[in-house]
Amino acid sequence: MSNWPYPRIVAHRGGGSLAPENTLAAIRLGQSLGYRMHEIDVKLALDEVPVLLHDEVLERTTNGTGRAADMPWSTLRTLDAGSWHSAEFAGEPVPSYDEVVKQFLSRGTACHVEIKPTPGFDRQTGNKVAAASHRLWRSAALPPVFSSFSFEALMAAKEAAPGIRRGWLISRFTEADWERLEALEATSLHTNHKNATPEVIRELHARGYKVMLYTVNEVDTAERWLDAGADGLFTDNLSEFAAKFPKLI
Ligand code: G3P
Ligand code: MG
């Protein structure tokens, strides 16, 4: 298998802006548009069940309040994570990581698993998500990629599932990141396209790293980064990107 067998355009937060982020509905919608790879955000419930949620707290994307880390999975799963987006998705639940991996595997699609620990839970989040991934993705044709803004979480993931590729996620790449990439034995660097340059992509490529850029929602910006050699782009603009780049999704 090639060092980087992944599509260049990736559905951000499951289904971009077309559906409530980090839900099964979002992932299904992305798959129905032809996406073969999705990015999701994963953290731990109180009882250490890995769940999909971007924020530390529940208010923005569910009808719950407070931290996901203070609620057991049995309670989190009863929340409405769809109404904030639109009436069409009312009642859509917060999914567990196990459930969404089953959905990916049922369609042979893959995943950038962003390990997004609740602050203070870095190590155990990296450990649990990696252990679950090792178990769940065993038979996958296209294996997942881990990423995280948390160095500690990604190091823990490396210990628990060394065979799963790791991407170091940082808003702006600086010289200090070479050391982190090396310590993580990372395959890729994931960064904000607004802080990236073609030179940074060239330097990373010259040292053997792939480069993923988030979150690119304009077609002309995407074309510019693809021409500059970016290995992948995360997008919320699923319909337009699927129409414009059908061979890259
Ligand atoms: O994984 C790339 C991107 O998702 C990082 O930013 O805030 O959307 O999780 P955020
Ligand atoms: Mg993310």
Q: Is residue 2 part of a domain?
A: no
pLDDT one-digit tens code per residue, 197-219: 999 999 999 999 999 999 999 99
Q: Is residue 1, in this structure, part of any structural domain at all?
A: no
With respect to residue 216, please indicate whether it lies within any of the assigned structural domains.
yes
CA distances from 166 to 28, 179, 186, 187, 249 (A): 25, 14, 5, 6, 21
Is 249 inside a domain boundary?
A: no
Q: Is 209 in the pocket of ligand 1 (CB under 6 A)?
A: no
pTM, two decimals, is 0.97
Reported as a single tens digit per residue, the pLDDT across 109-164 is: 999 999 999 999 999 999 999 999 999 999 898 999 999 999 999 999 999 999 99
Pocket test for ligand 1, best of 149, 215, 217, 237 (most atoms within 8 A of CB): 215
Ligand 1 atom nearest to CA at 112? 1
pLDDT of amino acid 38:
98
Query: How many angstroms is it from 236 CA to the middle of ligand 2?
Result: 11
Q: What is the pLDDT of residue 84?
A: 97
- Domains of the chain: total: 1
Residue type, 156: A
Strand partners, 44: 50
Which CATH number covers residue 114? 3.20.20.190
Tell me whether residue 117 is in a domain: yes
Q: Is the pLDDT of residue 1 over 60?
A: no
Q: Is 3 within the bounds of a domain?
A: no
pLDDT confidence of residue 2: 64
Q: Is residue 89 part of a domain?
A: yes
Question: Which amino acid is present at 222?
Answer: A
Task: Supply the residue whose CA is at minimum distance from atom 7 of ligand 1.
Answer: 54
Does residue 56 form part of some domain? yes
